[in-house]
Structure 1
Amino acid sequence: MLKYMASGEGINSIKVVISRDKLTAWISASDEEAKYEKETLINELKKAGVVFGVLSDEIDNFIAVPSKEQVVVARGVPPTPGVDETVELFFASEMTHDNVDEMDTVDFRETSKIVSMDEGTLLARKLPGTLGSDGLGVTGEILPPPKPRSAQLTAGKGAELSENGVEVYSTISGRPWVKVAGTGRTVGCDSVHVQSGDVDIKTGNLRFKGDIKITGNIQEAMEVQAAGNIEVMGFVTRATVICGGKMVIRGNVIGSKLRAGIIFPGAKKISFVLSDIYAELVNLAKAIEQLKKMQNVDVGKLDFGRLLLGLMDSRFKNLRPLLKNINNLVDNQSEDIPEEISEAVESLKCLSGLSCATVENFSKAIRAVYGALEFLSEGREQMSSSIFVRAAMTSAIQSAGNVNVTGQGCLNTTINAGGNVTIKGSFKGGEILCEGNAEIQELGSELGIPPVVRVGERSYIKVEKALPGSVVQVGKSRITITREMGSFKAKQNKDGQMELF
């Protein structure tokens, strides 16, 4: 406290006290029986330096009842503090179910607290502070506000700081994190999420935009998805595992669905046909524009549907067979067709009749086919996607690239691969469809449904041992093994016939 003692001339003494922050002033009397004039007290306050915020009513009360206890007789205006710099995070630490209605059904498998971001995502931003406003003390002095505290924002591993130094973006897909040190924040992104132990009802389904490594098993009815790679040290039992890169299952796979990459069997053929269709559609659109420019043809007065179908019957005769071909390819797919492909094929139905052949539908079809080709182009970049499993039973395995079974083999399992299929053990029951080569140590069994192995016309099938009933197909040529056979290789010759040698 700053203290000031004032002595009256011929009157009892009073004491004036000013607070250290100069926002409050008090007076007290040594003699509670003394009589004071208001002007005298105000003068004593001025002598002590109190010139602002004097409380007239409080002085009147003090005059009426002098007190040895300190009485507040002046108050200043405190400075308004500013706002400190802060760092805003654009990711949460966990998921909550606070807003779930009592009547809603909650899937307790969807309780994973993993937060993941795409590459290039804004992770954090530094928000500027603001200056406060001055105050005024009882002494008339200007009281400056405290300076706002500054915050330090830095980028850690997997992230980068913007040029202006106020934003942090992820440079990889993965799990964002923040380290706090005082007012400093370091924000980064990890590409690998390690799940210690099993994936089960306690952990919830896992979805991550980087890589996932699971040290335990994936239990029944659970789902694991990763934009990158997945490695499972244990078993996968009646579960779904999906990744965009490489999948490695160290244990056995039972009654499960595995998928690596977005390419699906038949994608190459569909891509070729859609490319031809797109080229025809673009040329068809150009032909219509040329007709519009001809002075002797008023396209606006013509029925667009009749014009479109007429051009298809005269100048673009290849389009109808291509449309029939793409429909057959999609209809014959046993696996789910990606939505982008389905939408493109559906949009092409506008070319099948007058009622739906409108300018809007025609333009929509061109855009949809282009979008499907873009999707397939992105998928071709994922041809490195592959699956490695020790053994599989009653499962479905789908890979954009290769499939490798490194242990006992497969039982009643379906394998679809955009690349090669290699089975070091036996393949008993089920079906293999691949666009690359298939190499199998032992094909078929004496019990159960005979297996089927199908490859493209330019690929081959290599088997070390085949049991009767097994079916091998290269391109459109198919044979059924009628007796036990040793090592052979099946391949098409120049005439399109399959040869075993």
Structure 2
Amino acid sequence: MLGVIITRGKTVAEAVRNAARQFKVSEDEIEYEIVDRGSRGFFGRSAVIQAALKRRTSGDVGSQAHEAGLEENAEDTSTTYFQSEELVPEGTAWVKNGQIACKNGIFHYALVTPCDGLVLRVNGEAVKGTTLVIEEDVIDVELLNERVEPRMSLTVSPDKMQVTLTFEPGYNIVRRIRDHPPSRELLLEVTEDKQVVNHLTEQYIDEALSEIGVQFGIDRDQIRLACQAQTPATYVVAKGIEPICGTDGEFELASKSKTEQKDRFTLSDIIDWKERFSLHNVRAGELIGQATPATPGVNGRDVFNQEIPVAKVRDLTIVAEEGTALRGEQKVVATASGRVRIQRRANHTMHFSILPQLVHNGNVNIQTGNIRFHGDVYVLGNIEEGMTVEVGGNLHVTGAVAKATIRTRGDTVIQGPVIGADIICGHANLFWDNMLPSFRLIHRDLIGVITALKQLEANQAFTKGDIAKKGLQPLLKLLTEVKFKDLPVRIRELSRPIKNERQSFDPDVHKIMDFLEKSFCYFHPLVSKLIQLESLVEYMGTIIVSIEQDANKKMNIRVQSLTNSTIKSAWDVNVERFCYGSDIYCKGGFQVQGILRGGRVQAGNFIEAKEIGSNSGSRTEVWLTNDEGYIQADTIGTDTVIKISKLAKKLINEEMDVRIRVDDHGDLILR
């Protein structure tokens, strides 16, 4: 009931009349609830009721003014209760102006339940759950306000190029207990007012930066934004200047249109093999190209005001060798016609030479003799049985090759069939694949020998006069017998094949091997000074770098067909028609556009064919060394052995449309 009051009387009727008088209305306008009917007798109890005005509709005559008076107090329904203590119902509790009060009832007492954000204490004891309260209790409320301090941290990047400020504003939470009208079961409620706290100042941030040593690149705009932040954020408050790297000197070819070479064959490739060999062809007197000067870099500066130096740039050193000349300091000019050969060496050095081109008209046979030429060779005919062709560059044969031996340092193209031949393409590259580790070990041992010699020179038992008279031979012999026993063995193992294939290796390599043999196999008296060995070590280092760079070059073979031949290629092998009973090794991929039957193929990255093997008992083995590669064919016949890395499978049944690979689980799959 709205506007409830408690009235008493000897009888219920008298209590109703008393209520009407208080409301100043007639008894008909009163609605009430009997609390106690009272009892008769001298010491009887009074009747007690809870009374209120009846609710009126907007159409009731004379109700407008009275309703208007009630509506004035509609926003705070507790106003009626607080006008007088006598008007508050018995057995209730309420909140007014942040204070909790209660009124005892005859048969009922109020219950109070605390909420989060405050501590309710009754008679000094904290109350956690619902508790009964009476007028005699001392009821206190402690509001739990919160304060979280703002947090700031500065982080310097590992490269010392920027400082990041991470900021989380603080806040204050002020709580107030909400007023509540009288209720038998009072549930306390609080209101919260959250206020963001940001005490950052530019001076405070500057001092923090100064404490960690930051002096350069401070961003005032970012600092001001941090001082105004109302939400968590990060700001780059200091930033250094990145160094600008310079560029080393390089070389620009005068003709760029012929510098690109393809390193992979595909069925869709249309390759002009004559142009492929021309990297690039020049005539005597023609400009090959010129060096571009190095561009110095610009030093940077970090947030601690320390200078960050850039690497020194290197000008290109040009060495003009056979068939070339240097004009001025920058330009390389051909003095002979042929193909340009460029070799990179250590210390940013490039060697230029011209590989001459030999055109052999007709067949290579017993009448013409073998061909050994350090440049490119064009054979306009066949290479017949028993003949040898060794080429320092590329080889192009317009006819067939039968039971011949071919060695090239570059690409090989044979337009006719190849029968019973032995062909190695990129011979030096294949050789260094196996022997470069041994060459490096020799280089390492030489460094050790030089260190040991210097220690012996410092020993009183060996005087400089003795070394001057006898040379280094006694010491070298002693060291190889005691500490470096494997050094002469490695030198002999490496020297033998290099001598046998003299045409396939650069003169630099032969010079090194000759000196190594004289020094550590024959102990030649000409090797008498330590400086000679030190020069050799430095020279070997440049040659190793050159060999490593040359090893990345990809030499390819392309033939019309193969029968009972042995082929080795420093990269790809491409067969236009068929491959029967041949032994193939290539570091790259193998592709035959027709049938691959019999023999063995070992490739690095892929094997592709229309048909592999047969159903007539011709054993064919195909092997990929790279476990990420694939084998692909339209048909694979029975008695074919498939290997990828260490996984192998022999096919029993014919398979169609096959792509063999290793899946993510390490299993060999055929689809």
TM-score norm. by structure 2 comes to 0.36
With a CA cutoff of 8 Å and minimum separation of 6, indicate the structure with the bigger relative contact order: 1
TM-score norm. by structure 1 comes to 0.47
